[in-house]
Amino acid sequence: MSPIVRAFFDRPTGSLQYVFHCPKTKNAAIVDPVWNFYPEAGAITTKSADEILAYIEAEGLEVVWVLDTHPHADHFSAAPYLSQKLGAPTAIGEKVTGVQTLWKDLYHLGDDFPTDGSQWDRLFAEGDEFMVGEIAVRVMFSPGHTLASITYVAGDAAFVHDTLMMPESGTSRADFPGGSTEDLWNSLRAILDLPGDTRLHIGHDYPDDGQAPEYMATVAEHRLRNRHVKDGIGKAEFIAIRDARDATLPLPARMLAALQVNIRGGRLPEAEADGHSYLRIPVGKFDPR
């Protein structure tokens, strides 16, 4: 069965969020929801998540999962907020424990910080399957952008997170801590081995002001014209292209704030005595670009 997919766009971070649902049962899942963070003011709002809630109510959907593909470096995850509002469980890939361990050290968090993935209701492994209404959803382990990234294949739609961009833009970076260009290549080839009419829904687009984002192209379209991984481009050429591009990219502006929230499953650090949470910024652990 083919899911109905609705994309939501957070322009400040270029992030794409999705709701897909079974047209027969109206059961739905949310993928990669954004909790808006404004670093200049240290402020947070639920603007993007509330847009998703309004759509769900208007369409009469019953959300059965709130899903993240990986711990994001450019926005906070709104999964706990939506889970609380909708009564749906949260999930992510099981390798998130490795990301938690890596960033626990980078943030110099205490021994009491759990790195067992217990911040989510379910940790998915490669090949796991679950249902959204009458739509079977299969989990593909897709590391490279991060060591924990997964893809959700729901009928003829796949949510490929930060692996692919639109064909004209190519692929996503692999230079974050725990990333790997070689792993990304292997993940991309597995995704591009899906049936040619599979709709690949990406994690980011960066249109000019006033222009709408693009967010979906089929496997066949990527194999025909993706500038980094179209048919005919081999592994060595891809790695050279991707590594050269990554060497020019600055770190995301929200990365050092976002990862300490997202390794907590989308929760702020515990409030201190004054009732406020405080974020850590590790100084001198990353080079400027």
CATH number (domain holding residue 137): 3.60.15.10
109-134 pLDDT, tens per residue? 999 999 999 999 999 999 999 999 99
Determine the Cα–Cα distance for residues 16 and 12; give it in Å rounded to an integer: 11
Over the chain, what is the mean pLDDT?
Answer: 97
Report whether pLDDT(81) > 90.
yes
Whether 275 has a pLDDT exceeding 90, the answer reads: yes
pLDDT cut 90: percent of the chain above it: 98
* 8 A C-beta contact, residue 197 and residue 206: no
Q: What is the pLDDT of residue 288?
A: 85
With a pLDDT cut of 70, the percent of the chain lying above it is: 100
Query: Cβ(242)–Cβ(228) under 8 Å?
Result: yes
Please tell me whether the overall predicted TM-score, pTM, comes out greater than 0.95 for this model.
yes
Tell me the one-letter amino acid at 120.
Answer: W
pLDDT band at 50 (very low <50, low <70, confident <90, very high): very high
Confidence of residue 1 (pLDDT cuts 50, 70, 90): confident
21-28 mean pLDDT: 98
Specify which residues 17 forms β-bridges with: 8
pLDDT at 178 over 90: yes
Residue 176: helix, strand or coil by DSSP? coil
- Is 156's pLDDT higher than 90? yes
Report the pLDDT value the prediction gives residue 289, as an integer from 0 to 100: 75
- Residue 53 domain boundaries: 4-258
**In the beta sheet, which residues pair with residue 112?**
none
Burial environment of residue 116 by CB neighbours within 10 A (0 to 12, 13 to 18, 19 or more): exposed
| pLDDT at 167 > cutoff 90 | yes
**Does residue 155 come out as left (phi exceeding 0), alpha (psi in the -120 to 50 range) or beta?**
left
Q: How many domains does the chain have?
A: 1
How does pLDDT run across 222-262, given as a tens digit for each residue? 999 999 999 999 999 999 999 999 999 999 999 999 999 99
pLDDT band at 194 (very low <50, low <70, confident <90, very high): very high
Q: What pLDDT does residue 58 have? A: 98
Q: How many CB atoms lie within 10 A of CB 253?
A: 14
Please indicate, yes or no, if residue 269 is contained in any of the structural domains. no
DSSP string, 2-33: PPEEEEEEETTTTEEEEEEE-TTT-EEEEES-
The answer to whether residue 55 is domain-embedded is yes
Q: Does residue 289 lie within any of the structural domains? A: no
pLDDT at position 152:
98
What was the pLDDT predicted at 271? 96
In a domain, residue 49? The reply is: yes
Q: Read off the pLDDT band of 36 (50, 70, 90).
A: very high
Token look-up 């899911």 returns 3
Tell me how far apart the alpha carbons of residues 139 and 125 are, in angstroms, rounded to a whole number.
7
In a domain, 110, yes or no: yes
